[in-house]
A and B are shown apart, each in its own frame.
Chain A
Amino acid sequence: MAADRLWSIRGTLGGVRYLAIAGVGFASFLGGWWLLAGSGLVDAVFLPEPVAVARRLLGWYADGSLFADIKISIGRVLGGFVLAVLMAVPLGIYIGSFRPVQAFFEPLMEFARYLPAVAFVPLVLLWVGIGEGAKITLIWIGTFFQMVLMVSDNIRQVPMAQIEAAQTLGANRGEVVSLVVFKSALPGIVDTLRVTLGWAWTYLVVAELVAANSGIGYAILRAQRFLQTDKIFVGILLIGLLGLLMDQGFRLVHRRAFPWLHLR
């Protein structure tokens, strides 16, 4: 009976069992890694053991630079990301609401989003130098255009009936946009931000690999020079973990801010 529900398409699974299975997933990943690294089939330069990686993490923490690196990387990600959000959300709302604005910006954005952000690195260095501005600019280039298009899509998905109901209740244009369109699209926009934040991390690493002397990405680069594979692993896993945490943060916000979507 219970097994039926478990394996039926889109069946049900309790929270505890979900977490248990997720734990098994992580454990098999770790176990596989540990077995492979411990078997001696692969040189530790290519694949360090989990224990070595953990030791390296502790060492990084002990020399006091771990939190400094994390802090500076998070700061850069948030800097570029928040800048993109502040510009993309209002623009996306206008593009999604008004046809002429859409005609003006959307083809332009569609074009810009296919420009390879990574290839902008030399230009960015030329334009803004190698300071913090460069990293923030690169993250902005990598996220802004996609974000604009996705937010305008969120806006366009607001059912016309919701808009027209407001109009026939006497709402003016500004009220329709602020009280109905924005509110209705907000859960979708928050999801868009959650997804684009992941991309911001990608561009952070790119930025720190080419033009930085601090941060997790830079630590990875330096580890490569000294062939410290275990430190490269720590850096990669650290970024994965930070991304996961921020993602979960967004999900929590989603559940708290939009309770009507999570009713059962």
Chain B
Amino acid sequence: MNPVPATCIRIERLGKTFRGQSTPALQAIDLAVAEGEFVALVGASGCGKSTLLRLIAGLEAPSEGQVCLDGRPVQGPGCDRAVVFQDYSLYPWLNVLENVRFCRSLRAHTRDASESEVNSAVERAYALLELMGLDEVRTRYPNQLSGGMRQRVAIARALMAQPRVLLMDEPFGALDAQTREVMHELILRLFEIERSTIVFVTHDVEEAVYLADRVVVLAPQPGRIDSIHPVALPPPGARHPDLKLAPEFLRQKKTVLDRIRATSGVQRDLDKLSRLAELSRRDRRPDAKPATGIH
């Protein structure tokens, strides 16, 4: 048996109430993320996924409880927790290579750097570009790239800082389905090579189940953890897009989806819709009068 991996992020009784709001955006969140684990946060929109991620990043301050990284409470943003946002976070005045190397212009990364570290950083930048399939476009500006390319640059830039954890907030939310599929394979390959700890926010359940070791379902109003679903799938390196059609995969996807529906009020809407469908069927019965149209 492998030894139990160390806890990387520990979230304790975490709560967040935004000023001027009566219901907390998040309430009593308890969650531990292990070293090297890939955790996906899913849930209806507005249930607090982004808020939770931003609390881990230190971009928001908790109202209650705390987030600990390696046992130390998070006080604010720092280079041990890099964030990949959905869009608009690349620096349009820097080309691809300069964007990726951005953290090397910061004191936090160069303060005590020896020459060999500087050299290895240069190598790392090029290695990341190659890994991300960006070496051909490294002198281009972000607005010359497709959406998928831009997100690859954002991921490479985050990894360049060698963070303890990589936080991603719907990083593929603005991409088309084909590009997203490619990005999934890229993320899995990357996860295998870099073995980072990843917290990944998405509203796409398929994406969550396919990529993550554990899927956390959040329920809204107040935002809280509804359920946690360990994913039993082949290890990341052995996954293949066709897996998304396998019965076992679909079963796990349905389990998660059912929880989201149950917690988000979607079920209520679906019930209402099926009642409507029932009514229109009744209208169309031969003995009934023709459906009363809308004039």
Contacts and interface: CB of A to CB of B under 8 A. Distances in A.
Interface of A: 159, 161-162, 164-172, 175, 179-180, 183-184, 186, 258-261, 263
B87 to A, nearest CB: 7
B106 interface: yes
Contacts of B93: 183-184, 186, 258, 260
Residue of A164, A170, A263 with most partner-chain B CB within 10 A = A170
A183 B105 CA distance: 14
A161 B59 contact: no
A55 B109 CA distance: 67
Closest 7 CB pairs of A and B: A170-B79, A170-B108, A161-B89, A167-B77, A260-B141, A165-B89, A169-B103
28 contacts: A161-B85, A161-B87, A161-B88, A164-B77, A164-B83, A165-B85, A165-B89, A165-B157, A167-B59, A167-B76, A168-B57, A168-B59, A168-B78, A168-B83, A168-B167, A169-B102, A169-B103, A169-B157, A169-B158, A170-B106, A170-B161, A171-B106, A179-B105, A184-B92, A260-B92, A261-B92, A263-B141, A263-B143
A168 to B, nearest CB: 4
A162 B107 CA distance: 18
Interface of B: 57-59, 76-79, 81-83, 85, 87-93, 102-103, 105-109, 141-144, 154, 157-158, 161, 167
B89 A171 contact: no
Contacts of B83: 164-165, 168
A183 B90 CA distance: 12
A195 B57 CA distance: 40
A151 B80 CA distance: 33
B154 to A, nearest CB: 8
Contacts of B105: 175, 179
Contacts of A165: 83, 85, 89-90, 154, 157
Contacts of A263: 141, 143-144
B109 A170 contact: yes
A253 to B, nearest CB: 15
Given A179-B105, A260-B141, A260-B143, A168 B91 contact: no
A186 B88 CA distance: 17
A157 B236 CA distance: 40
Given A162-B91, A260-B92, A168 B141 contact: no
A167 B142 CA distance: 20
Contacts of A159: 88-89
Contacts of B161: 169-170
Contacts of A186: 93
Contacts of A184: 91-93
A57 B108 CA distance: 62
A78 B57 CA distance: 47
Nearest to B86: A161
Nearest to A172: B107
Residue of A161, A175, A183, A186 with most partner-chain B CB within 10 A = A161
B105 to A, nearest CB: 6
A261 B77 CA distance: 30
Nearest to B92: A260
Nearest to A257: B93
Contacts of A260: 92-93, 141-143
B196 to A, nearest CB: 14
Contacts of B76: 167
Contacts of B58: 168
A70 to B, nearest CB: 36
A68 B22 CA distance: 70
B106 A175 contact: yes
B85 A164 contact: yes
Contacts of A162: 88-91
Nearest to B108: A170
Given A168-B59, A175-B105, 5 more contacts: A164-B57, A164-B83, A164-B89, A168-B82, A170-B106
Contacts of A168: 57-59, 77-79, 81-83, 158, 167
A189 B65 CA distance: 42
A169 B79 contact: yes
B255 to A, nearest CB: 33
A164 B79 contact: no
Contacts of A180: 91
A168 B167 CA distance: 10
Contacts of B82: 168-169
Contact of A172 (B90, B102, B108, B167): B108
B93 to A, nearest CB: 6
B59 A169 contact: no
B206 to A, nearest CB: 26
Contacts of A258: 93
A169 B161 CA distance: 6
Given A258-B93, A260-B92, A169 B106 contact: yes
A138 B63 CA distance: 51
A258 B103 CA distance: 22
A161 B161 CA distance: 17
A161 B90 CA distance: 8
A260 B91 CA distance: 11
